[in-house]
């Protein structure tokens, strides 16, 4: 995803570049949580949710600054980092809950001709991820490009099964992200929960799970809370984002993120909920607001 990140998220970054400035208009109060009096210092977190934030949403901000701000708020992780970015999180006592994996979004595990390359890079990355104490590695199906869903499923299972023993040995969970193919990632294959769940069943390892992106699956499927409850055994990580627009997760958008976070935690979920929205207002004020909404 490293080489893809600027491409697949370029429209979002354009929005972000045009939108730094005004302080956040209070909106979360109506949802339940109260915004802190100050934008400085640690948030008063409940300690139940493991909070993370996705680096790409703040690409105009130096990574060192983002890590410092995240640590000051009380977050545990800054994620979707490349290998050369890992030292920044460790400097501030953070982890990277979801490091970058061996491929970009469009060129993933659904093509047999890419397997040798992806396996080689995975076998290099997985020990490094374990050595740094990070828990997961993100993977992608790739775009269909004429491959049927059934064939893509078989191809992904064949390729990922080659590195599953290493992931199991090292205790690293490989997470395939569910992305929408309707608006943001045209032709992406792992675009619905049932397809991803079937892949997890085929691989049959506790070290392969799904990254359930709430923004993407609201666009593709809706029925978010029921889907999470019914498939939680296959869901290992969550991303947020306001629908429509992938902006703040407050009352400017159609989902009730506080209730979604409550539903996730009611399942006994122990993983991370990562903020992946593009702030239209002051970035750190909006991030504090998003964390406060999801801290249930």
Give the pLDDT confidence of 188-231 residue by residue, as tens digits.
999 999 999 999 999 999 999 999 999 999 999 999 999 999 99
φ, ψ for residue 163, nearest 5 deg: -105, -5
Cis peptide upstream of residue 244 (ω within 30 degrees of 0) = yes
- CA 259 vs CA 205, 216, 226, 242, 270: distances in Å: 30, 18, 12, 14, 17
pLDDT > 90 fraction of the chain, expressed in percent and rounded: 86
CA gap 233, 115 in Å, rounded? 27
pLDDT in tens, 157-187: 999 999 999 999 999 999 999 999 999 999 9
Enumerate the β-bridge partners of residue 238: 212, 273
DSSP-based three-state secondary structure for 272: strand
Q: What residue spans define the domains of the chain? A: 2-294
CB 185 within 8 A of CB 10: no
φ, ψ for residue 176, nearest 5 deg: -90, 130
For residues 203 and 23, the model is more confident at 203
CB 224 within 8 A of CB 255: yes
- CA 206 vs CA 126, 184, 292: distances in Å: 16, 29, 31
CA angle 152, 156, 159 (to 5 degrees): 140
CA gap 271, 151 in Å, rounded? 31
Averaged pLDDT, 131-158: 98
pLDDT > 70 fraction of the chain, expressed in percent and rounded: 86
* Residue 29 scores a pLDDT above 70: no
- The whole-model pTM stands at 0.87
CB neighbour list of residue 275: distance below 8 Å, 6 or more residues apart: 51, 52, 53, 54, 57, 239, 240, 249, 287, 290, 291, 294
Averaged pLDDT, 253-271: 98
CATH number of 2-294: 3.20.20.150
Length of the chain: 296
- CA 114 vs CA 119, 262, 264, 277: distances in Å: 9, 40, 35, 31
CA gap 154, 137 in Å, rounded? 21
pLDDT of residue 41: 82
């Amino acid at each position: 995803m490293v080489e893809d990140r600027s491409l697949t998220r370029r429209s979002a970054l354009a929005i972000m570049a045009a939108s730094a400035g005004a302080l956040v208009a209070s909106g979360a109060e109506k949802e339940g949580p109260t915004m802190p009096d100050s934008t400085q210092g640690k948030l008063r977190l409940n300690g139940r949710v493991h909070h993370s934030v996705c680096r790409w949403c703040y690409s105009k901000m130096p990574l060192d600054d983002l890590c410092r701000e995240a640590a000051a708020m009380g977050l545990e992780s800054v994620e979707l980092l490349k290998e050369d970015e890992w030292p920044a999180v460790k400097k501030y006592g953070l982890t990277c809950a979801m490091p970058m994996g061996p491929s970009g979004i469009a060129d993933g595990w659904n093509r047999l001709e890419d397997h040798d390359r992806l396996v080689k890079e995975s076998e290099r990355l997985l020990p490094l991820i374990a050595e740094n104490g990070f828990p997961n590695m993100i993977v992608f199906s790739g775009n269909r490009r004429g491959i049927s869903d059934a064939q893509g499923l078989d191809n992904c299972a064949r390729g990922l099964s080659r590195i599953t023993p290493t992931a199991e040995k090292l205790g690293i969970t490989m997470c395939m992200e569910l992305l929408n193919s309707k608006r943001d990632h045209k032709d992406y294959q792992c675009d619905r929960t049932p397809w991803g769940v079937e892949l997890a069943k085929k691989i049959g390892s506790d070290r392969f799970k799904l990254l359930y992106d709430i923004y993407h699956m609201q666009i593709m499927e809706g029925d978010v809370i029921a889907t999470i409850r019914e498939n939680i055994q296959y869901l290992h990580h969550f991303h947020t984002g306001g629908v429509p627009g992938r902006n703040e997760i407050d009352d400017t958008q159609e989902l009730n993120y506080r209730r979604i976070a409550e539903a996730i935690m009611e399942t006994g979920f122990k993983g991370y909920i990562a903020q992946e929205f593009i702030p239209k207002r002051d970035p750190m004020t909006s991030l504090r607001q998003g964390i406060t909404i999801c801290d249930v």
